[in-house]
Amino acid sequence: MDTFKEKLCNRYRVSKADTQTLLDCMEEVHFKKKELIVHEGAKNSNFYLIKNGIWRAYYHKDGVDTTIWFASEGEAAFSVWGFVDNANSLISIEAMCDSTAYCISRTALNQLYASSIGLANLGLNLMERQFLGQENWLISAGSPKAKERYLTLIKETPELLQHVPLKHIASYLWITPQSLSRIRASL
């Protein structure tokens, strides 16, 4: 099994057979670096699994972009507002490099969930991971040691340094780009 499928199975605790069933129902899509996948203020109820590449989600307020998550190979990405409520998204999702993903509409995914307990459990695991990721991000924002947050981030996802501008990493860490530069210089 290729790395993408292994990561997907391990991360979301789904069987190889259920993974293949899901992928067989999804469309492969390609995005160029800096292309917006989800536009803030627009509806997008699609669900994506990233085959390769790195994406970031952010919101724009008072002239500043604030990054709220990164997703890479084997991870799910979607706008919660569009996916759950079919509402306009409050975030944008952008490809940080040329990327390939699998895409399925919310309607088609819900039909799959209804057809298989394994796939229904995948849906549950996806939402649990989404909640966990957001809570970790919120808690880390309160951590007094930006250096520790940076070290944890690059340990968990070292590929970010190759594809993501430092200003977006700084935003995700709740620090200024200048503070991030000082942290990197001290290492």
Question: Using CA atoms, how far apart are residues 72 and 51, in angstroms rounded to an integer?
Answer: 8
Residue 141: per-residue pLDDT: 60
Higher pLDDT pick, 141 / 106:
106
Instruction: Kindly tell me the number of DSSP H helices and DSSP E strands found in the chain.
Output: 9, 8
pLDDT over 60 at 139, yes or no = yes
User: What range does the domain containing 63 cover?
Assistant: 3-186
- Helices 117-141, 106-115: axis angle to 10 degrees equals 120
Residue 140: per-residue pLDDT: 65
Residue 135: per-residue pLDDT: 78
Residue 142: per-residue pLDDT: 57
Q: How many domains does the chain have?
A: 1
Per this entry, what is the length of the chain? Answer: 187
Higher pLDDT pick, 172 / 92:
92
Residue 144: per-residue pLDDT: 60
Q: Averaged over 112-131, what is the pLDDT?
A: 86
Q: Which CATH number characterizes residue 168's domain?
A: 2.60.120.10
pLDDT grade for 149, boundaries at 50, 70 and 90: confident
- Helices 3-12, 117-141: axis angle to 10 degrees equals 80
**Pairing label, strands 99-105, 27-31:** antiparallel
Q: What pTM was computed for the model? A: 0.84
Q: How far is CA 22 from CA 25, 46, 85, 107, 178, in A?
A: 5, 14, 22, 13, 43
28-80 confidence digits (pLDDT tens): 999 999 999 999 999 999 999 999 999 999 998 888 899 988 999 988 999 98
83-115 confidence digits (pLDDT tens): 888 899 999 999 999 999 999 999 999 999 999
